[in-house]
Amino acid sequence: MRKTPIAEWLLTLFAGRERAAAIMGDLEELAATRGSLWFWTAYARTLVTLGWRTPVAFLIAMVSMRFIFRAVVPLLEAHHITHFLEGGLFGVYNLHVRLINWNLTLVMARFLIFALPFVAVRFGLRNRLTQLTCALLLIAVPVYSLRPWVMDLSGILIVTAIVAALIVPHWRRPMIVLAATCVTATAAVATCFYILVGVFHQNILIWIKFCMWICEAIGFALAVIVCVYLHGWLLERPPISDRTIA
């Protein structure tokens, strides 16, 4: 057999299970008379043709995220949190809960700033995952104003929107894909940073920017793989009622 599980899985990642199976079958049939070299050349050409959107979308998302955090976010950070701890919707007696809420919203906003350009380029503007990501980003990004009442409201609306998306059948699968991608990115970045802290140890402050860049690149790359795979599995497969035995 010329095809391998890894080759077929990689093609499935970009083309979907049914289409990838059909492509691999055609390549195998033609390779019977043209040889292994032709098979792998045609496979590589097919992979590039089908898969160019993912790496291009990843690069655009990384560049966009860098630009936003250097040019846009500083405009929102007009005040510092500690100067306004007495403000907000819940008062200082819930400070610990609020800090948890703020941090989670900040993590979510950072991920969404990366995710929106990626899914927009990779899947298109009319895709449900893109539309959901855009809506959540509009809700989350005000958290960078660092105004307590805005951060409180942003956190509440984010939780409400996520719960609503999980309840509504039309948006449940896009929300599952987005949540799994976010968890993967966050866990991968945190794990990678923990490893690099152990490597650089006392020099971590000197290399902090380099470490964060490496961690984000690795974490978001893994998240992209999860996103594309789950999108193909949950959002591109036809409903059960539309499938046939054949």
pLDDT 10s digits, 12-65: 777 777 778 888 888 888 888 888 888 888 888 888 888 788 899 999 999 999
Q: Which two tokens stand for residue 13?
A: 């990642």
Task: Please give the average per-residue pLDDT across 129-134, as a whole number.
Answer: 96
Cα 193 off chain centre by: 18
Range with top average pLDDT, 33-37, 105-109, 134-138, 197-201: 134-138
pLDDT at 237 over 90: no
CA 14 vs CA 21, 57, 130, 214: distances in Å: 12, 13, 17, 25
Q: Each residue of 180-209: b (16+ CB within 10 Å) or e?
A: bbbebbbebbeebbeebeeeeeeeeeeeee
Q: Give the pLDDT of residue 197.
A: 78
| Angle subtended at Cα 103 by Cα 186 and Cα 117, rounded to the nearest 5 degrees | 50
Instruction: Write down how long the chain is.
Output: 246
Radius of gyration over every alpha carbon of the chain, rounded to an integer in angstroms: 22
Cβ contact 61:117 at 8 Å? yes
pLDDT at 103 over 50: yes
Instruction: Report the percent of the chain where pLDDT is more than 70.
Output: 84
Distance CA 41, CA 21 (A): 18
When pLDDT is cut at 50, 70 and 90, the band that residue 177 belongs to is very high
DSSP codes of every residue in 152-214? HHHHHHHHHHHHHHHHSHHHHHHHHHHHHHHHHHHHHHHHHHHHHHHHHGGGTTTTHHHHHHH
Distance CA 169, CA 93 (A): 38
Q: Give the pLDDT of residue 74.
A: 72
Residue 6 or residue 195, greater confidence: 195
Instruction: Report the percent of the chain where pLDDT is more than 90.
Output: 39
Q: What is the pTM of this model?
A: 0.78
Q: Give the pLDDT of residue 163.
A: 96
